Structure 1
Amino acid sequence: MSTTAETVTVAPPGPWPAPMAPVPIRATVRVPGSKSQTNRALVLAALSDGPSTIVNGLDARDTRLMRDGLRALGVQIEESGDSWRITPPGAFTGGTVDCGLAGTVMRFLPPLAALADSPVAFDGDEQAYARPMGPLLDGLAALGVTVSGESLPFTVTGTSALAGGVVTIDASTSSQYVSGLLLIGARLADGLDLRHAGESLPSRPHIAMTVEMLRARGVQIDDSETDRWVVSPGPIAAADVIIEPDLSNAAPFLAAAAITGGAVTVPHWPSESNQPGMRLPHILQQFGADVTYDEDGSIIVEGTDEIDNIEIDLRDVSELTPVVAALAALAADTSHLNGVGHIRGHETDRLTAIATELESLGARVRVHHDGLVIHPRLLGGGTWHTYADHRMAHAGALLGLVVADIVLDDVACTDKTMPEFVALWEQMLADSVAASTAEISAESAELA
């Protein structure tokens, strides 16, 4: 059976009892489009030299905020089902942009605002006020842009004719600073020579994604030197793009097979991709799951008898940390998750949130400067706080499959990147029960 969400409603705010899995999870789950690709494609279409079409773009809170933000800057967006037509303006206009809690909106649109003909005000959810913005705003200031404020809310007053040149920033807290500036590099009169000076960069696959999508539109970028990107000035070509499935959003579904001894299939898994979620199959194999691919391009994850403990560096795939931590809490022994100190500045302080919630269920967790040490214990039920963070909700729902009486305080935060989450999750369970019933019936018929 195939789990889809062709018609969905967003889960209402409030407590959500995470359903347990009465049988091993066996289902096919079709996940929606990649948020990272969708929002980059939207920004590139707005900067292009003509209209572009995006197909299979993610329709979720983060991408709605991006579309509304672009409209506030004068971009025309026509939506028809899963096809969006984006027409760039002659010049970006001033206005007000609501960033919500979307990192891509608060880090990608200020550079566009630097090209606008009048001031652009940025605001967002109260929780977004704590998210770091300084390196990006410093980079804009180095380009000659006037910025009032050091974090949300702030106002950008730019010019439609920025010179460009050398800009040096410390992007060790977010790769999005690099991507945001790279996106406008070709529109600067002298191009952009962007350099990172600081500790190791997180989430490098996201930067590679930005570079690849720019090159696909004819932009010349020299990234042969580590932590330096030289963008040549020139047009950004209009292009029609098809968005890949969101591989990171597949994480809780594929992990569900691993912890229940079942099998979950996700169709249209790309053979190559710069999405960080491409590392997910290898991570699940480290935990002891079996991973295969069929001739139609689907990935199949099957659980085994035990969940192995792991030691892993998640710097390049830090968005997977909550789900990986949930798996580690069910493993046979102690796991070490490293390279993720920077996720203290994500939607919430994810290190503290993960440790607090796992310990509330009975695990023992040590937080250090760059990650987590997770000691599994017998887990019990309780309230799992999501902190308005979709990845925390995914982790809580995953644990709820095998730990009784877990209640998420608010599952509606999954609307950020996957409004279909609850519908897909519940359908996955229903399909698993149906598959188990059919298997039992077939076995009974053979014995009769």
Structure 2
Amino acid sequence: MQKKKYSIGWRNENKHPSLSEVFSSVSVPKQKGIWRKLFAFTGPGLLIAVGYMDPGNWATDIAGGAKFGYMLLSVIFISNFFAIILQHLSLKLGIVCERDLAQACRDHYPPFISFILWILCEIAISACDLAEIIGSVLALKLLFGIPITWGVLITVIDVFIILFFQKKGFRYIESVVAALIFTILVCFSFEIINSKPEIFPILKGIIPNPEIIKNSHSFYISIGILGATVMPHNLYLHSSIIQTRDYPRTIEGKKMAIKYATIDSTLSLSLAFFINAAILIISAATFHKVGLTEVADIMDAHKLLTPILGSSLAGIFFALALLASGQNSTLTGTLAGQIVMEGFLNIKFKPWIRRLITRLIAIVPAMIASIIYGEKGTAELLIISQIILSIQLSFAIVPLVYFTGDSYKMGPFVNGPILNISAWLITIIVVLLNLFLLYDTFIS
């Protein structure tokens, strides 16, 4: 029996490029200069890294550091390793098959299954948008004293900011994201220097400790860290935005693209690891050190940082980093929403309509919670949003690992045995942990 070509390993033909308005719009130099090519591919990884340092990560990292000191640093490290593997698969799918993950699902599964996956993904993106709103709203209150309710309304304005940069070109969006990440990096570098953490306990914390599993509370927070770190919408996003690069759509061209895109992704996610680890280290060095082990809230952490560190700038930098994190996540969430809707449904909406719909879906619960419950309500919504993201994660990982392990679809780029086994082990771990989280949340 003759083996099928990988180009026809799909139920449907993909007729439209992902993000057609910016598809293949960023030039890649044809010369063999390594640094010039690496610079050309730098950008998508930074957009992906944003999802790994969004406001949803803050609560779990703060709680983990305050309660258990540096012990859960190993969980952040392992989660980041999972993310590096999964994002590599995502960019590889986009480069080899010239489909984003949403288009791949549409072209592989029957319409009913594809529709269910789309609904689940839309719910997850709305949950992610909710976390972004809450982070930005809390930052506006901390920096300028703007009431929570007004802050929720102000976040609608970012729709027009995003539209402005989208019209300028994709490199402008990447530059804005890079500037905001640099802001977060500077802020947390200041916080770490002022918190004076202990080096050897930090190094010890990176090594996995059996106590993490034995202690039910640390195990629960660990699952929260994993769920908040590996973001499902990032898998759809990366498989699309990597196609903005104008590399040769040949075997050699795709090999080159995978190589440089993986370097970009890995370096960017290493930066995300530093920032997530910094949040936990600061929490451990300030709150856990003085016995404040119950701090698990962004607002409480902000209130306590200044008196403990003895610097008024500590709280300001903390809030500024939170605002940059929320706005950064908004940019990538916008793109992910567009990619998912266009990919699954094969239809196009004007970007401002798509963004406004997503933002309104997230604003309604945020507004209700802020009016009825105030800050406490928004903090609880932040936790709920992370649970929703954790649930949806499995429905994004399983298709991704399956597609990239299929020789009909990937041809010579199919996952090797070691990568394939590693990817399925990560998938099984994520699925089991999320099942445990669901059981613990709704049944026990």
Q: Which has the larger radius of gyration?
A: 1
Write 1 or 2 for the structure with the bigger share of helix. Answer: 2
Query: Do the structures match in fold with TM over 0.5?
Result: no
User: If the length of structure 2 is used for normalisation, what is the TM-score?
Assistant: 0.28
User: If the length of structure 1 is used for normalisation, what is the TM-score?
Assistant: 0.28
Write 1 or 2 for the structure with the bigger share of strand. Answer: 1
Larger RCO (CA within 8 A; separation ≥ 6): 2
